[in-house]
Amino acid sequence: MPSRARSSRPERCLDTSRPEPRLSALYQELILDHYRRPRNKGVIDQPTHTMALNNPLCGDEIDLQLQMEDDVIKDVRFIGRGCSISQAAASMMTQIIKGKRLTDALAVADRMSAMMRGDESAAQDKTLGDLRALAGVAKFPIRIKCALLPWNALRDAVKP
Amino acid sequence: MLDTARIRADFPLLRQLENGHRLVYLDNAATTQKPEAVLGAIAEYYRTNNANVHRGAYALAVRATEAYEAARASVARFVNAWAPEGVVFTRGTTEAINLVAASYGRANVRAGDTVVVTAMDHHSNLVPWQILCEEKRATVTMVEITEDGRLDLSDFGRALERRPKIVAFPYVSNALGTVNPVAQLVRLAHAAGAVVVVDGAQSTPHLRVDVQALDCDFYALSGHKMLGPMGSGALVAKPALLDAMPPYHGGGEMISRVWDDHSTYNQIPHKFEAGTPNVEGAVGLAAAIAYLESVGLDRIAEHEVALARSAIERLSQLDGITLYGPREHRAGVVSFTYRDIHPHDLATIVDQDGICIRAGHHCAQPLMRRLNVAATARASFYLYNDRDDLDALAGSLVKAGALFGYVSA
């Protein structure tokens, strides 16, 4: 048995913890609802824009398809798998951007990113709709990439 | 069971609170925490013996060289290597396998040849062979696993019919905990004319390894998974094979004589250790080995097998848990999923209780595809874990179930 290292020194507990972010704020009913009953899940027959993104670190996958007419997102669908945050974010995103002009959809993307940076005013922004339920993710830094995955897919899909 | 309270007292990091809770570290298959003995050995090396090795003519450099070579001898003893010169220090298992692929592989694998790997290999024992075979226009053949996560021996036999040049597999699966029958697999592979590369990243820390008894040709290990520092590790090989292999990296230390347009090379193992080596890593690894031996590898293995058995029992009691991997012949690694709660969500939730588990594909994407999951949650144990840690995990999982509306907390 290894000897106790310097047992004469009093045992010290280092508390490196941050104030505990609230799990109930992270896993709200609305998020679980989108996770379990994703809106606009599926494929578009002849999409004008597509983008498949995955997060190599954790394996979350989003395959996004858009049907654009002029500058308007006529239809949007996704398939994917991953954590509740990434899949709920994708479901919420499709709800919000469907029927929007692309520039308006990208403006929502920017507000979403701002909310993930902890911007309180973005978290109050009505243009974010159900996405506001994801405001709690900002307190869990390693999960922010999950919430932004579908938005990054959108940005990449429409890149000229 | 081991006296975990006494062991934990040797690990400063385990005295921390995490999110206000006692830290429950269950990600030992990823990396392990370090005892004072290892931290002290590294500091002591820099305080008293630091100089460049195999170079200086002064006493300090001699001491540094002696410390480095003593560490090599210690690794050799620990796994019963063929000889100390059959131990090449590397950054870890990944570099050790890449060394074999780049040196032995390039020299011996030709167009049309086969390299055999398994569906339970870590990416580090798969991608180097893919790179080699792509370059050589050779084929990677993957051996399947059975339903319960063991190697499919009849498929292994079929793969050997291709007369592979190299057969590579893990001693212990990092994602399933499966302990492979290495000696038997080596015999079969040798009979088919292959050399055998064993990924020992998950076995060396947890059970008594005897490479001569296994009779494999190459054995790769990582220091950081066995209480040693990150960036330490070794390739253990039959000296005659190393001797015949071309160098891996060029530079100082690995040469004998250097002319304008060519060079001759140093003896093994130095031929494969270009540049100033990670001496602190070697010294820290030797201290880790001394610590593990003072506890006893057999007792550690027994402790972990008992913990894994308890973990499987505890988790099976929770409604909706799916466990992966075999019931028998397994190490202290338990992979699971819980209803429709994604492993990342599980890991975030139990982290709030100070519990560290791994969630993801465990660098084994081909395996995940066969299990038909994108990811699993994984708890992996070491000598400082005990049943209290399992209780904490089980309690926290109940909380996760409640958050997702399954059970009342």
> Across all residues in chain B, what is the average pLDDT?
96
Residue at B140: amino acid letter: V
Residues B221, B127 within the same domain: yes
Closest to B117 (Cα-Cα) out of B47, B75, B164, B168: B168
Give me the pLDDT at residue A20, please: 54
Q: Identify how many contiguous H helices and E strands chain B contains and give both numbers.
A: 15, 17
Residues of A with CB below 8 A from B343's CB? 83
Residues B285, B374 within the same domain: no
Active-site pick, B133, B216, B356, B363? B363
Q: Is the pLDDT of residue A22 over 90?
A: no
Residues B209, B337 within the same domain: no
Closest to B270 (Cα-Cα) out of B248, B286, B288: B248
Q: The CATH number of the domain where B92 resides is what?
A: 3.40.640.10
Whether residue B380 contacts residue B358, with contact meaning beta carbons closer than 8 Å, is answered with yes
The stretches of B245-386 forming alpha helices (DSSP H) are 279-295, 297-316, 343-351, 365-371
Give me the pLDDT at residue A6, please: 38
Give me the pLDDT at residue B348, please: 94
Q: Is the pLDDT of residue A9 over 70?
A: no
A26 pLDDT band, cuts 50/70/90, is: confident
Tell me which residue range forms the domain holding A36. Answer: 24-157
Residues B166, B201 within the same domain: yes
Closest to B124 (Cα-Cα) out of B193, B201, B176: B201
Q: Report d(CA B83, CA B212) in Å as an integer.
A: 10
Q: Say whether B348 and A36 touch across the interface (CB within 8 A).
A: no
B216 is catalytic: no
Kindly report, residue by residue over B163-175, the tens digit of the pLDDT. 999 999 999 999 9
**Region A75-103 average pLDDT:** 96
Q: Say whether B35 and A81 touch across the interface (CB within 8 A).
A: no
* Domain membership flag for residue A15: no
Q: Say whether A81 and B374 touch across the interface (CB within 8 A).
A: yes
Q: Report d(CA B351, CA B338) in Å as an integer.
A: 16
Which pairing describes strands B139-143 and B114-118: parallel, antiparallel, or unpaired? parallel
A17 pLDDT band, cuts 50/70/90, is: very low
> Across all residues in chain A, what is the average pLDDT?
87
Final residue in a domain of this structure, among B234, B262, B293: B293
* Domain membership flag for residue A63: yes
Size of interface A-B (CB pairs under 8 A): 94
Torsion of CA B210, B30, B73, B54, to 10 degrees: 150
Kindly report, residue by residue over B109-163, the tens digit of the pLDDT. 999 999 999 999 999 999 999 999 999 999 999 999 999 999 999 999 999 999 9
Between the alpha carbon of residue A24 and those of residues A133, B185, B188, B285, B343, the distances in Å are 11, 50, 55, 43, 17
B328 pLDDT band, cuts 50/70/90, is: confident
Give me the pLDDT at residue A10, please: 37
Tell me which residue range forms the domain holding B309. Answer: 4-26+297-403
Structure tokens at B385: 């874990």
**Region B293-311 average pLDDT:** 96
Residues of B with CB below 8 A from A5's CB? 9-10, 35-37, 40
Residue B307: which residues within 8 A CB-CB, separation 6 or more? B332, B381, B385, B386, B387, B390
**Region A100-110 average pLDDT:** 96
What's the structural domain count of chain A? 1
Q: The CATH number of the domain where A85 resides is what?
A: 3.90.1010.10
* Domain membership flag for residue A3: no
DSSP 8-state assignment for residue B124: G
Q: Report d(CA A2, CA B4) in Å as an integer.
A: 11
Q: For the beta carbon of residue B363, count every other beta carbon within 10 angstroms.
A: 18
* Domain membership flag for residue A135: yes
Min Cα–Cα distance to chain A from B368, Å: 10
Min Cα–Cα distance to chain A from B6, Å: 7
pTM of the complete model: 0.92
Between the alpha carbon of residue B103 and those of residues B106, B107, B134, B167, B243, the distances in Å are 5, 6, 15, 15, 11
* Domain membership flag for residue A56: yes
Whether residue B269 contacts residue B349, with contact meaning beta carbons closer than 8 Å, is answered with no
Between the alpha carbon of residue B349 and those of residues B284, B285, B345, the distances in Å are 34, 34, 6
Residues B323, B208 within the same domain: no
Q: Report d(CA B302, CA B376) in Å as an integer.
A: 25
| Omega before residue A150 within 30° of 0, cis | no
Residues B351, B235 within the same domain: no
* Domain membership flag for residue A55: yes
Residues B262, B141 within the same domain: yes
* Domain membership flag for residue A12: no
ipTM of model over 0.85: no
Min Cα–Cα distance to chain B from A74, Å: 31
Residues of A with CB below 8 A from B3's CB? 1
Kindly report, residue by residue over B230-269, the tens digit of the pLDDT. 999 999 999 999 999 999 999 999 999 999 999 999 999 9
Residues B273, B356 within the same domain: no
Residue B285, burial from CB neighbour count under 10 angstroms (0-12, 13-18, 19+): buried
Query: Best mutation site among A6, A27, A85 for testing chain B: the one with the most B CBs within 10 Å?
Result: A27
Kindly report, residue by residue over B365-381, the tens digit of the pLDDT. 999 999 998 899 999 99
Kindly report, residue by residue over B348-360, the tens digit of the pLDDT. 999 999 999 999 9
In chain A, which residue's Cα lies nearest the Cα of B295? A1
Q: Say whether B344 and A2 touch across the interface (CB within 8 A).
A: no
Q: Say whether A143 and B359 touch across the interface (CB within 8 A).
A: no
Final residue in a domain of this structure, among B268, B293, B318: B293
Nearest to B10 among A2, A32, A140 (CB): A2
What is chain A written as a DSSP string? -PPPTTTTSPP---B-PPPPPPHHHHS-HHHHHHHHS-TTBS--SS-SEEEEEE-TTT--EEEEEEEEETTEEEEEEEEEE--HHHHHHHHHHHHHHTTSBHHHHHHHHHHHHHHHTT-HHHHH-GGGGGGGGGGGGGGSGGGHHHHHHHHHHHHHHT--
Residues B11, B144 within the same domain: no
Enclosing H/E stretch for B356: strand B355-356
Give me the pLDDT at residue B206, please: 96
Give me the pLDDT at residue B408, please: 62
**Region B298-303 average pLDDT:** 96
A16 pLDDT band, cuts 50/70/90, is: very low
Give me the pLDDT at residue A5, please: 38
Q: Report d(CA B394, CA B246) in Å as an integer.
A: 51
Structure tokens at A158: 């429409």
Give me the pLDDT at residue A56, please: 76
* Domain membership flag for residue B376: yes
Final residue in a domain of this structure, among B293, B319, B341: B293
* Domain membership flag for residue A51: yes
Residues B209, B164 within the same domain: yes
* B230 φ, ψ (degrees, to nearest 5): -65, 150
In the block, residue with structure tokens 């999110």: B19
Whether residue A90 contacts residue A78, with contact meaning beta carbons closer than 8 Å, is answered with yes
**Region B382-386 average pLDDT:** 98
Span of A1-10, B24-33, B151-160 with lowest mean pLDDT: A1-10
Kindly report, residue by residue over A115-159, the tens digit of the pLDDT. 999 999 999 999 999 999 999 999 999 899 999 999 999 999 999
Residues B43, B188 within the same domain: yes
- Selected residue with higher pLDDT from A58 and A5: A58
Q: Is the pLDDT of residue A12 over 90?
A: no
Q: Is the pLDDT of residue B207 over 50?
A: yes
Q: Say whether B17 and A13 touch across the interface (CB within 8 A).
A: yes
* Domain membership flag for residue B408: no
Q: Say whether A14 and B295 touch across the interface (CB within 8 A).
A: no
The stretches of B166-261 forming alpha helices (DSSP H) are 182-191, 211-214, 239-244
What's the structural domain count of chain B? 2
Q: Does B296 touch chain A if contact means CB atoms closer than 8 Å?
A: no
Residues of B with CB below 8 A from A12's CB? 15
Residues B263, B308 within the same domain: no
In chain A, which residue's Cα lies nearest the Cα of B346? A83
* Domain membership flag for residue B409: no
